[in-house]
Chain A
Amino acid sequence: MLRQASRLLSRSVAAGSSKSATARGFSTEVPSTIDSTFVESWKKVAPNMDPPQTPSSFMKPRPSTASSIPTKLTVNFVLPYASELSGKEVDMVIIPATTGQMGVLPGHVPTIAELKPGIMSVHEGTDVNKYFVSSGFAFLHANSVADIIAVEAVPLENIDPSQVQKGLAEFTQKLAAASTDLEKAEAQIGVEVHSAMNAALTG
């Protein structure tokens, strides 16, 4: 415990001296962004206890951006209940961003993309894996790592076409009959999701 205290001390001194009072690094950088004024006032109050750790000190440092463009894209595709792909190296993914189908290659400019209901395809050599994504986000990092998070993602074979047609008809009707803004929005969402599923199954 005392060993850790000296490490924290030296880290905070180094960090404090190399920064101006207002500059703070991004929270995803290496945990040397310990607030030195906090550590000093902590030590005045509780000299025998280590300063509390923050979540960022438990995080692994972000892999650095390579100077040359890597040949493969590392994809992490996660759902709330499962990790579909974890650190998988692929050639390309095509994500259904709200601005249209976006192809992501290694060395893609860092982007945060909101996803709309649509097909996400993962291309590895000649294999293509397609998933229908309900909505989510894609974070493309400078080091060719893509983090894609979705609430629900299913392989296309698991979707039942007859239910999609039924849903589309039902929501188109609801859209015509809707009165309040909220009802209209919900019906519109239904129409969009079902049309996307329809297009995914037939296209």
Chain B
Amino acid sequence: MKDTDIKRLLYAHLLCIFSIILSIFIPSFFLENFSILETHLTWLCICSVFVTAVNLILYLVVKSNVSSKRSSLSYKVTRFLKCCIYLLMSCFSFHVIFVLYGAPLIELVLETFLLAVILSTFTTVPCLCLLGPNFKAWLRVFSRNGVTSIWENSLQITTISSFIGTWLGAFPIPLDWGRPWQVFKVFGFHMSSILTFQMAIERKHNICRSLCVCTRHCCTNSRILTTTVQGRFHSHFYT
């Protein structure tokens, strides 16, 4: 049971990483002058959509047997609506937290909000998929000894490492090196991946899984998120 779960988990994360990679390359076929560096906001949107889609597919494929107990249409619709509301709420609350963290209130609203959206897709969407719109269950998973299955454990680790990755992404902001690659600082990547790795090992879980978890989350997050934060900072300091 556990082995099959771990295998599934591995595939799920691999799929997520694959979707992120796809989101880099596919849009260039459809959109003109698309590049990660210049049109990073577009890319953020696309990436977020891709990740959400993959999460939904995974939910439908992998976990469908669990939640098929009640299958009346109205129940499903309300559940879906609830999920949407939760997602929106989480976006707004992340936005508020970013503003409290020091992001400007009025300028660069779009960038900040996109940061909130992308963070939500990495944290809230998996939560919604796995736990449903059940706030109590969320609270339980994110407290000590609250984890009951390996899926929840993975959820816990990925979500927390997403937050840490975002947090670390803020550190290169003040640096004044002015290099073009600084738009996408991979600075936070190494540290957060190491952190995640250790956390996973501490929990005595499959190394393979932890590896893919950390690469997926830290890589994408710290890269994407710093972009927006960076833009924010520059406007703050140099305008």
Decide whether A and B are members of one complex.
no
Which B residues fall within an 8 A CB radius of A? none
Which A residues fall within an 8 A CB radius of B? none
